[in-house]
Chain A
Amino acid sequence: MNPTIPLKFVSSNRRVREDRRFVAGQGRYVADIALEGLLHVAVVPSQYPAARIVSINSIEAMKMPGVHYALTGEELAKAVDPLMNGLETPNVRRYPLAVGQVRYVGEWVVAVVAETRAQAEDAAEKVRVEYEPLPYVIDAEEALDPSSPPVHPPHGSNLLLDKTFVWGEVDKHFAESPRHLSFRVVWGRSSTVPIETFGVAAKWDPWREMLDVWASIQMPKYSDQIARSLRIPLNNVRVHQDVDVGGSYGVKRGIKQTVIVAHLARVLGRPVRLIEDRLDNMRAGDAHGPGPDLRCRGRLQ
Chain B
Amino acid sequence: MRGRPVKVRLSINGRLREADVEPRKSLLDTLREDFLLVGSHAGCEHGVCGACTVLIDGEPSRACLMFAVQADGYEITTIEGLAPAPGELSIVQDAFCETHGLQCGYCTPGMILTAHALLTHNDSPTRDDIVEAISGNICRCTGYGQIVEAVEFAADRLRKTNAPRHPEVAIADEPVRLAKSKAPRQGVLEAVQTDAPRGGRS
Interface size on A, residues (CB 8 A): 35
B98 within 8 A of A: yes
Indicate if the CB atoms of A15 and B96 lie closer than 8 Å.
Answer: no
B92 nearest CB across to chain A (Å): 8
B95 nearest CB across to chain A (Å): 9
Which chain B positions have C-beta within 8 A of A22? 102, 104-105, 108
B51 within 8 A of A: yes
Asked, given contacts A194-B106, A244-B104, A249-B140, whether A14 binds B198 with beta carbons under 8 Å apart, the answer is yes
Bound state CA distance, A14 and B196, in angstroms?
11
| Chain A-chain B contacts (Cβ-Cβ < 8 Å), number | 116
Indicate if the CB atoms of A15 and B105 lie closer than 8 Å.
Answer: no
A41 within 8 A of B: no
A141 within 8 A of B: no
A190 nearest CB across to chain B (Å): 14
A195 within 8 A of B: yes
A145 within 8 A of B: no
Indicate if the CB atoms of A14 and B97 lie closer than 8 Å.
Answer: no
B89 within 8 A of A: yes
Question: Closest chain B residue to A282 by CB distance?
Answer: B44
Indicate if the CB atoms of A24 and B79 lie closer than 8 Å.
Answer: yes
By DSSP majority rule, is chain B's interface helix, strand, loop, or mixed?
A: loop
A173 within 8 A of B: no
B6 within 8 A of A: no
Indicate if the CB atoms of A19 and B102 lie closer than 8 Å.
Answer: yes
Indicate if the CB atoms of A24 and B89 lie closer than 8 Å.
Answer: yes
Indicate if the CB atoms of A23 and B140 lie closer than 8 Å.
Answer: no
Of the candidates B140, B194, B201, the one whose C-beta lies within 8 Å of that of A193 is B140
Indicate if the CB atoms of A27 and B105 lie closer than 8 Å.
Answer: yes
Bound state CA distance, A110 and B140, in angstroms?
32
Asked, given contacts A14-B199, A22-B108, whether A246 binds B41 with beta carbons under 8 Å apart, the answer is yes
Of the candidates B22, B78, B139, the one whose C-beta lies within 8 Å of that of A25 is B78
Which chain A positions have C-beta within 8 A of B32? 31
Indicate if the CB atoms of B106 and A29 lie closer than 8 Å.
Answer: yes
Bound state CA distance, A193 and B51, in angstroms?
14
Which chain B positions have C-beta within 8 A of A139? none
A13 within 8 A of B: yes
Asked, given contacts A23-B108, A31-B38, whether A15 binds B98 with beta carbons under 8 Å apart, the answer is yes
What string of 1s and 0s marks CB contacts (under 8 Å) between B104-141 and chain A? 11111100100000000000000000000000001111
B174 nearest CB across to chain A (Å): 34
Which chain B positions have C-beta within 8 A of A249? 140
B83 within 8 A of A: yes
Which chain B positions have C-beta within 8 A of A24? 39, 79-80, 82-83, 89, 93
Bound state CA distance, A247 and B199, in angstroms?
26
Bound state CA distance, A3 and B198, in angstroms?
21
Question: Closest chain A residue to B44 by CB distance?
Answer: A278
Indicate if the CB atoms of B39 and A246 lie closer than 8 Å.
Answer: no
Indicate if the CB atoms of A246 and B201 lie closer than 8 Å.
Answer: no
A74 within 8 A of B: no
B4 within 8 A of A: no
**CB proximity to A under 8 Å, residues B12-41:** 22, 24-25, 29, 32, 36-41
Bound state CA distance, A13 and B97, in angstroms?
12
Of all A-B residue pairs in the complex, the 8 with the closest CB atoms, nearest first, are: A25-B39, A22-B105, A13-B200, A246-B106, A25-B79, A23-B93, A32-B38, A19-B97
